[in-house]
Structure 1
Amino acid sequence: MKLSGGEKLARVIFLGTAGSTFSGRNMPPSLLVDGGVLLDCPAACPYVLATMGRLDEVRIILLSHLHPDHSLGVVELLWHLWIRGSGKRVEVVGPRGTRRFFERMLEVLHPEKFETILSHGVFREIGPGDTVGNAKAFEALHTVEALAYRLTVSDRSLCYSGDTSPSEKLVEGFAGCDLLVHEATYPPGMEDAALRDGHSTPVHAATIALRAGARRLALVHLPYARLGDVDEEYLRAARAIFKNTFIPKPFEEVTL
């Protein structure tokens, strides 16, 4: 599949879009990007990738932060790689404390073998402004240290907010992106509550997309477990500000 200029189209698969916990068959946000890049890794993510026949594609995991709905799948993946015995290792990138976080969990789970299990991950801790390959990290505003990411793939740009409230730094970091994937944990009308909790509403996300000059906006981290189907309400609020907004379905594939 080619563009007119001969460049390959970059593909993004939305593995999950639910906020804070799973809802039905929908897990918390995780995106698989061409080149084996996985953005966030909730608990069910390795199993979901395995059922799709795509688990072995993953070579690097970019974690936005260490809350369980974004990170626990790393433990499952490292355990799986250890049990399988293939010798494969995966790079795990995240904010400060990432390696120690997984080390402590695995030490509790298997005191005798935790170092061997942990060795199936290559850990790298980064901060705002750091780059890893074609990804650059930006500061996100959450209740713990958190990162947003900008990836450049086949001359296209994908920006992922992770969990965050709006900020000028993110407007700058997301400037001109082809696809902005932004969280919208709180419903429209609850902007103040969202800010207090380090989150965003669809109004916040759409405003960021508009100010950043993004081409498209995808809303994720939606509160399905608490509020049920909010898609229509969220789209109406976001599109009043930024018309080119959509809510991806689990396993939906998008080209940049």
Structure 2
Amino acid sequence: MSTAVLENKPTVPEEVPTFTATLIIRRFDPEVDAEPRWEDFTVVMQGTDRVLDALHKIKWEQDASLTFRRSCAHGVCGSDAMRINGRNRLACKTLLKDLDLSKPVYVEAIKGLPLEKDLIVNMDPFFESFKEVQPFLIASSKPEKERLQSPVERARFDDTTKCILCAACTSSCPVFWTDGQYFGPAAIVNAHRFIFDSRDEGASVRLDILNDKEGVWRCRTTFNCTDACPRGIQVTQAIAEVKAAVLRGTP
């Protein structure tokens, strides 16, 4: 009997389709520029590439001075929030192919916070507001084991546990742009997370803080924050629930 011999033929990888994208980036170098300026770049990208990949390619291959924040690159750390075509997004979650590439892609820093360089803003005011609402568990008891909570009690504040502090919601808020004292949506969301936590005893303290003139009553319910949130948090609803709790004086 003859034995069939299988030939080991090398497989030729399929050519990955590419496309050309033009990014117009708002640049600012405080050591050189008096005002921000727009600069355009053209890059060849692949179908699964995101805006963050395009920024990396520009930085690595065209202009090493391009400055932006990024860390995990998977939509978890919140470092790379920026305005893309006029909307707050995470660069690492925004696929280029989902944008209209027949037109340039405009990229700039988020609004309402001091611009430091290119796509980087000073986040200190944002985190100061976050810290003011006391975003931690306040409890007088010290149980020997974990504090128990029912699934229903946990579900009450589940949505607002998803916040990654990217500032996309806060920096999309027109009130925050014009009033640097407003706590902003992200701070209120993180207050909500503890106000409605059955294990927490500091709700009244946080409600008093947010009943300030720069607290929840500055919200104009434009829904910009909800639209901007990359985690899908119902931010406007959370703010409305905190307003109702302030009026009741209790969660």
| TM-score grouping bracket, smaller chain normalisation | under 0.3
Larger-Rg structure = 2
The alignment's TM-score, normalised by the length of structure 2, stands at 0.28
Say which structure, 1 or 2, has more relative contact order (CA 8 Å, 6+ apart): 1
* TM-score, with length taken from structure 1: 0.27
